[in-house]
Structure 1
């Protein structure tokens, strides 16, 4: 028997939803309460569904309601049909969310330099309709921005101090001694933590994660850090090192930039200095399609570039 063209109209799905409620409760009254419709309306929709399908779905008496064989099959397959329909709508909405929109991402400075360009180049190509706003922030600003919703996601070494934020590690960022190419340690090709006691140290400011990494490593060796100069941003530290004021312990960021400044990144031997880099998001809050796609690409890029990122940050 050919199907009525109206069989799969929106009304059909409403009737199917009503039938599933009755079939699961085996009660017209409880089903009506559950879906917020009157009992006569529920009865009418079941009758209309049975007429459309041409079979009895329920056997009703004054004492009980039970499923027919056709009703039991419709219950099983109808559940799957509704679930798949809901999934389809969600997927279509998600795709629509990837056509236009905006993603606001906060990077820590060294990650902005090393990872951001690689991710942005691919993301712009794959999602040209989505505008990406890039922010470069230190811990207090980044964490506050994520908390108040002005930023979708953060990427950096900053461990949240509140359980409202989640930190998902993606790789370890290694530190080097960044120093002039003509320095004896650069010529030797490696450094040890104890060597830091014999050079003028250019340090990131107290309170930064880079300073914390350095302080912890020095403390383990019994060395007291006495900076010659301190600066908040790594480009300033590199400029001071290039001017011959000393060396700085930082992620190398970009060896081409260092080489252009007459600097080199000397690796530490014996004990590596590392810090975890992760994705920071609001806990228990799902990302919108645009930010979610950006994070997926970020994770893929970090995996592909893991060796480079770990060594050069």
Structure 2
């Protein structure tokens, strides 16, 4: 028959914390300084712990304090235990913060229009008590809102600006919506140089897409003409369908059912694409609620679009 083990009573976190301080530093004096207690108080707590355990935890001499074998074993166990307790307390606090949190974000229009709604719906199902505020902004205003900390984070294209931290969540290729009156083709792609021979429909200069397009055109010594500039991708689609020009659009903004009078062609030579990311200022940490929303963005924003047209699979 196994001997019964007596339960240990009154061994609390304070005694273990004091023991850890002495064990890690090998000094009653340093433990006293770090805990703002007297050395006699530290010595008394260690002795109390030893009496409760029935073993010596330290070899004491006039010059040094050294752990016994039992003390070394307890130090390792106590350190692991306090880490577990600390981790558990943090998780409890984070859950409480998420349930009563507030999240504000800015988002580029093409992402907001096509990908944001399912993510927000899933977040609301999980955390109905969190208030969410969304600002739909073009790139210039989006970066400004993140810079001024008017929002917790932004969702938009990666640009070469060192003050921001970018966490990629989606790669988005560029396509051209070309009226058939401008070209006859059986291909699924079109060269950028070929597009410059047509009137182009592009987003305005406040958008990162426009800046990226102009930079690539300049590198290749190309130029383009446009009579119209817009902020919304849907407007470009309407204008292209009316035969006013070839619209350059990110893949996620393409219509699910393209107009029969237009081609949908992936831009090649060079292939164009943008990286969409969660944007924060460097060194800024997110609240638990904002962090959870970012996790959902990473999981869901790159997922398949419902009723994706066949051309997008080319």
Q: Match of 2:118?
A: 118
1:160 positional shift: 5.6
1:160 to 1:40, Cα distance in 2 relative to 1, 3 A: farther
Tell me if structure 1 keeps the 8 A contact 2:181–2:243: no
Q: Match of 2:48?
A: 48
Q: Match of 2:175?
A: 176
1:228 positional shift: 1.5
1:18 positional shift: 0.8
Q: Match of 1:290?
A: 289
Q: Structure 2 stretches of 5 or more lacking a match?
A: none
1:244 to 1:157, Cα distance in 2 relative to 1, 3 A: same
1:257 positional shift: 6.2
Q: Structure 1 stretches of 5 or more lacking a match?
A: none
Q: Match of 1:231?
A: 230
Report which of the two has the higher share of helix.
1
* Equivalent residue runs for 1:156-171 within 5 Å: 156-159=156-159, 161-163=161-163, 165-171=164-170
Tell me if structure 1 keeps the 8 A contact 2:169–2:297: no
Tell me if structure 2 keeps the 8 A contact 1:103–1:133: yes
Looking at structure 1, the residues matched to 112 and 195 of structure 2 have their Cα atoms a distance apart, in angstroms, of: 27
Q: Match of 2:29?
A: 29
* Equivalent residue runs for 1:128-143 within 5 Å: 128-143=128-143
| 1:271 counterpart SS class | coil
1:260 to 1:53, Cα distance in 2 relative to 1, 3 A: farther
Tell me if structure 2 keeps the 8 A contact 1:177–1:265: yes
* Equivalent residue runs for 1:136-151 within 5 Å: 136-151=136-151
TM-score normalized with structure 2 length: 0.85
| 1:267 counterpart SS class | strand
Looking at structure 2, the residues matched to 183 and 96 of structure 1 have their Cα atoms a distance apart, in angstroms, of: 60
1:68 positional shift: 2.3
1:258 positional shift: 6.2
1:296 positional shift: 1.2
| 2:297 counterpart SS class | helix
* Equivalent residue runs for 1:201-240 within 5 Å: 201-219=200-218, 222-240=221-239
Looking at structure 1, the residues matched to 55 and 230 of structure 2 have their Cα atoms a distance apart, in angstroms, of: 80
TM-score normalized with structure 1 length: 0.85
Q: Match of 1:68?
A: 68
Tell me if structure 1 keeps the 8 A contact 2:138–2:206: no
Q: Match of 2:99?
A: 99
1:304 positional shift: 3.3
Answer with 25-34 or 145-154: which moved more. 145-154
| 1:268 counterpart SS class | strand
Looking at structure 2, the residues matched to 209 and 184 of structure 1 have their Cα atoms a distance apart, in angstroms, of: 27
Tell me if structure 1 keeps the 8 A contact 2:199–2:224: no
1:41 to 1:83, Cα distance in 2 relative to 1, 3 A: same
Looking at structure 2, the residues matched to 299 and 278 of structure 1 have their Cα atoms a distance apart, in angstroms, of: 9
Looking at structure 1, the residues matched to 125 and 263 of structure 2 have their Cα atoms a distance apart, in angstroms, of: 34
Tell me if structure 1 keeps the 8 A contact 2:106–2:135: yes
1:133 positional shift: 1.6
Root-mean-square deviation (CA, aligned residues, Å) is 2.8
Looking at structure 2, the residues matched to 193 and 71 of structure 1 have their Cα atoms a distance apart, in angstroms, of: 72
Answer with 71-80 or 153-162: which moved more. 153-162
Q: Match of 2:243?
A: 244
